[in-house]
Amino acid sequence: MKQNKHFNVTVRVWRQAGPGEPGKMVSYKVGDISPDMSFLEMLDVLNDDLIKKGEEPIAVESDCREGICGCCGLVINGDVHGPDEHSTVCQLHMRRFKDGDVITVEPWRSKSFPAIKDLVVDRSALDRIMQAGGFVSANAGAAPDANSVPVDRDRAEAAMDAAACIGCGACVAACPNGAAMLFTGAKISQLALLPQGAPERAARALNMVQAMDKEGFGNCTNEYECEAVCPKEIKVSNIARMNREFLLANLFSKR
């Protein structure tokens, strides 16, 4: 159903001045909302109003606004990345809401994602997991002709499914254990499925899992919340593959 009339909502937003500062929910009214507006554009309007009133606008992160950079990440009415399935916040449009709605907006909450300000958190822990092994050790200039290593098409497609991860951290935010296993499993899977990643499979699985634990992320207890909220539809089968890789590495690795 298309609605074309402009409408009003109330947003309840988590405000926190900085790391370690006390935070609280604050309500704001936002009027004259077009259904074609994106959710973040609605926050833009609210923020411009706050600036004009001389109040501090709400700190919120977003960049590409087309669902690929992974910057944006909010919990909206308790839903990670909002009510749309397999979507980022920036792709959420106000046509999903109606006049008079009260919308609760919170940041990602996880021990491993320390707060910075309002809705912005620090997700650099994910980069550190990558640094432990999320790569193929091949220097620029040394590679053979790309077609000299054929790759089974189905495996290449499965690798691409895993590689689609945008590193937004929604899986962590949705997980009751605060686990980053979908994120880590996706990278381990991508590289385990490709022949180029094969030589370092064992070391990669061991090192990335270790880094994940070191950052304080929890472990998987098969809640499937991560798969449900992942904007790129990364499957939990990647976690199973990561566990297999980790087990095999532990059993057979010479290290």
Q: Of 20-28, 115-123, 217-225, 241-249, which segment contacts other proteins by CB under 8 A?
A: 115-123
Selected from 21, 56, 99, 213, the binder of other proteins by CB under 8 A is 56
Cβ proximity to other proteins, 133 vs 178, nearer residue: 133
Distinct helix (H) and strand (E) counts, the chain: 8, 7
Least distance (Å) between residue 156 CB and other proteins: 5
Which residue of 23, 83, 87, 244 would you call a contact of other proteins, by CB under 8 A? 87
Q: How far is the CB of 77 from other proteins (least distance, A)?
A: 18
Tokens of 247: 């087990």
Residue 5 binds other proteins (CB under 8 A): no
134 binds other proteins (CB under 8 A): yes
First-last CA distance in the chain: 60
Per-residue tokens: 217: 């992320």
Nearer to other proteins, 4 or 222 (CB): 4
Task: Write down the least CB distance from residue 110 to other proteins, Å.
Answer: 14
Which residue, 129 or 249, has its beta carbon nearer to other proteins?
129
* Rounded Cα–Cα distance for residues 119 and 134 (Å): 28
How far is residue 126's CA from residue 128's CA, in Å, rounded to a whole number? 5
In the bound state with other proteins, the residue whose beta carbon lies nearer, of 99 and 152, is 152
The answer to whether the beta carbons of residues 98 and 157 sit under 8 Å apart is: no
CA distance 14 to 115: 11
Residue with tokens 């022949």: 195
Interface with other proteins in residues 177-236 (CB under 8 A): 190-191, 194, 196-197
Alpha helices in 61-131 (DSSP H): 124-131
Stretch that binds other proteins, among 99-107, 133-141, 172-180, 236-244 (CB under 8 A): 133-141
Q: Tell me the number of residues near other proteins by CB under 8 A.
A: 80
Cβ proximity to other proteins, 51 vs 221, nearer residue: 51
**Interaction of residue 36 with other proteins, rule CB under 8 A:** yes
Cα(112)–Cα(184) distance, rounded to whole angstroms? 14
Q: Return the number of the residue (91 or 220) whose C-beta is nearest other proteins.
A: 91
Query: Residue 79 forms beta bridges with which residues?
Result: 76
Contacts of 120 (CB under 8 A, 6+ apart): 59, 60, 61, 107
